[in-house]
A = this chain, B = another copy of it.
Amino acid sequence: MADALDTLKARARDLGQLTQLGTILVWDQRTQMPPAGAPGRGEHMAFIQRLAHEFLVDPEMGRLLDELEPRMSSLDPDGFDYGLIRLLRKAYDKETKVPVELRAEMARAAAEGNAVWLKAKAASDFQLFLPALERNIETRHRYVEALAPEGELYDVLLDDFEPDTKTEDVTRIFAEIRDELIPLIAELREREIDDSFLTGNYPTDRQIPLLQDVIDTFGHRPDSWRIDPTEHPFAASAGRDDIRITTHWYPTNLDSLFSTMHEYGHGLYQHQLPADVEGTPVGGPASLGIHESQSRLWENLVGRSLPFWRFYYPRVQERFPEMLADVDVDQFYAAVNKSQPSLIRIEADEVTYGMHVILRFELEQDIINGRVALRDLPDAWGQKMHDYLGVDVPDDAHGVLQDMHWSTGLIGYFSTYLLGTVMSVQIWEKMQEDVGDLDELMERGEFTPLREWLGANVHAHGRKYPPQELMQKVVGGGIDAKPYLAYLKRKFGAAVAA
């Protein structure tokens, strides 16, 4: 068994290497590459994806898994070896069940869809986008058909982003959130909060060192992180000690501060993944949802908390005296937590954000189950925006065309944003139980206990468990909306009452 296991591990390392190469290429494309390099970069990415496919479906991979799987009972189910065999078995079965021609067609539909979407969004014209969307949805139906023609169709799609998570559970959780958020949002929109000082003169040459200071204050090993500007912020990692976060700095506001804290959370997860299995599939992050729980934790539970700002606000204030000299910490805290329904998901505040995700999740259900015709999506979108957030959508660019995801066939992805946000509060509360008064630590600027607890309890498990099993290990239960809803009502409801 040792030999077969070693061989499997060597093959797993090769797959991990390809993942890391792909990460560097994407980061490079979005932050460094001369624009004319795009077609060549498309070839590079296709080449890496082809190799990953070939490595995975290699018959020898199947043979090794067949040899190892019956012997899993002799392995520690909490060990990485066990987790690796389970992961690769699942990946192998998925990859071999989907015909190569369909994979290629999905890739072409995605590439074409993305190009058409860019034009359609610029023209704010959904009809222009419709044929490309139809083609992407059609290939997704064939994908579901190839993998699991029985049962809940959407489960198959969700599994690519949040493994082993069931549509019915997500539906229940999101319905619970929706029913509580709608009245809270309606209540908060009436509140008057002055956030005018958050827009104005925030020179980027003073923002940049501040962003570096934020990630240094939160903490990391030396010489292993960098920050770059990009259009849409993301985090990339080419290894535990090569963490690259990105942000978008604007000379008129401090949005880069919160996006940096968000990406710090993603980066810290990669930074503290288990060293022993680095660069293998089982050494990676557990899921998109768990990843998002880490980014939301640092962005919201730390970065939009009053204790944090009691500690950190003077550093911001002294850099931007023209804007903030007369603003005290309570005013600043209230302003960065102002809740107001708006049209664009990625600009939404902590309270309204969830409704943007729920709207998309519900529409995806309707799309996949044929309950809505694609040509009617703009109307369905507008109706839900009205019902859930009380806003009217003026045009497609500010509505159904705002996000890239569907243009490349990514159905099921959006859910992970809200699942992660929900889990971030569960994890926070467990950390509070174990570590002690987190408010007090933040107010003293001490983040090491937070980093270390997350490292030992979440990050160190890598991907050896599916996300819901990981949550069992971390918080002793599955995903649960109640702590999240209680947190929102405590933080925002209380202020309303005050």
A residues at B contact (CB < 8 Å): 14, 17, 20-21, 24-25, 28, 32-37, 39-41, 43-44, 47-48, 51, 221-226, 238-244, 278-279
Contacts and interface: CB of A to CB of B under 8 A. Distances in A.
B40 A238 contact: yes
B40 A241 contact: yes
Contacts of A223: 34-36
Contact of A224 (B21, B36, B224): B36
A113 B14 CA distance: 27
Nearest to A222: B36
A186 B278 CA distance: 59
Contacts of A44: 17, 20-21, 24, 238
Nearest to A22: B21
A375 to B, nearest CB: 37
Contacts of A24: 24-25, 28, 44
Contact of A242 (B20, B40, B224, B241): B40
Copies of this chain, whole number: 2
Given A24-B28, A25-B24, A37 B279 contact: no
B239 A40 contact: yes
A239 B37 contact: yes
A34 B279 contact: no
Given A21-B21, A24-B24, 7 more contacts: A21-B44, A24-B44, A32-B226, A34-B224, A39-B241, A44-B238, A51-B51
A279 B36 contact: no
Contacts of A242: 33-34, 36-37, 40-41
A50 to B, nearest CB: 9
Nearest to A225: B34
17 contacts: A14-B47, A20-B44, A21-B25, A24-B24, A24-B25, A33-B238, A34-B223, A34-B243, A34-B244, A35-B224, A36-B221, A36-B241, A37-B238, A37-B242, A40-B238, A40-B239, A43-B239
A256 B21 CA distance: 31
Nearest to A242: B37
Contacts of A241: 34, 36-37, 39-40
Contacts of A20: 40, 44
A225 B243 CA distance: 26
A280 to B, nearest CB: 12
Contacts of A34: 223-226, 241-244
Nearest to A243: B34
The winner among A14, A41, A278 for most chain B CB atoms within 10 A is A41
Contacts of A37: 224, 238-239, 241-242
A35 B44 CA distance: 25
